[in-house]
Amino acid sequence: MEVTLQIPDEMAKTLGSRKESLPQILMLGLRELDANPSIDFSGLTEILEFLAKLPSPQEILALRLSPTVQAEVDALLDKNRTQGLDAGDRILWQHYEFIEHLVRLAKTQALLKLQQAK
């Protein structure tokens, strides 16, 4: 199928070097929208927005997934146990693994700052 889109020049510049990846980029974007129907941002964006507020080490250590994101993770875990994950689900799972990695890094740094402050 051929699709023609009008996009801002800045986006066109960014996408220009990724022409071969456009189908995957669109697929991931659609999966993200489907995975988060009740919110306008992904789990990754949620974490990045939290970190952008420059929280204290204590706030970082107390960080937990939102109930919506936790429900999505739980649903994927349940699906994996009962019927297995399809290719799209595996991509989404990798996305959540990346989020978990970022949070672990942030918590490690927060713990180090607290220990250095003592």
pLDDT tens, residue by residue, 35-83: 654 444 467 788 888 989 999 999 999 999 889 889 989 999 999 999 9
Count of structural domains within the chain = 1
CA distance 103 to 47: 8
What is the pLDDT at residue 36?
A: 55
Residue 54, domain extent: 9-117
First to last CA, the chain: 61
Residue type, 73: V
**Mean pLDDT value of segment 88-102:** 87
What separation in angstroms does the CA of 40 have from each of 20, 34, 36, 97?
A: 27, 11, 7, 20
Which sign does the torsion angle of CA 10, 91, 54, 112 carry?
Answer: negative
pLDDT confidence bin for 104, thresholds 50/70/90:
very high
CA distance 73 to 37: 14
CA distance 29 to 91: 11
Other Cβ atoms less than 10 A from the Cβ of 82: the count is: 7
In a domain, 2, yes or no: no
In a domain, 70, yes or no: yes
Residue 103 has pLDDT above 60, yes or no: yes
In a domain, 99, yes or no: yes
What is the pLDDT at residue 35?
A: 63
Which positions ≥6 away from 111 have C-beta within 8 Å? 57, 61
What is the pLDDT at residue 81?
A: 97
Residue with tokens 């970022």: 102
CA distance 113 to 28: 35
> What is the pTM for the complete model shown?
0.60
In a domain, 63, yes or no: yes
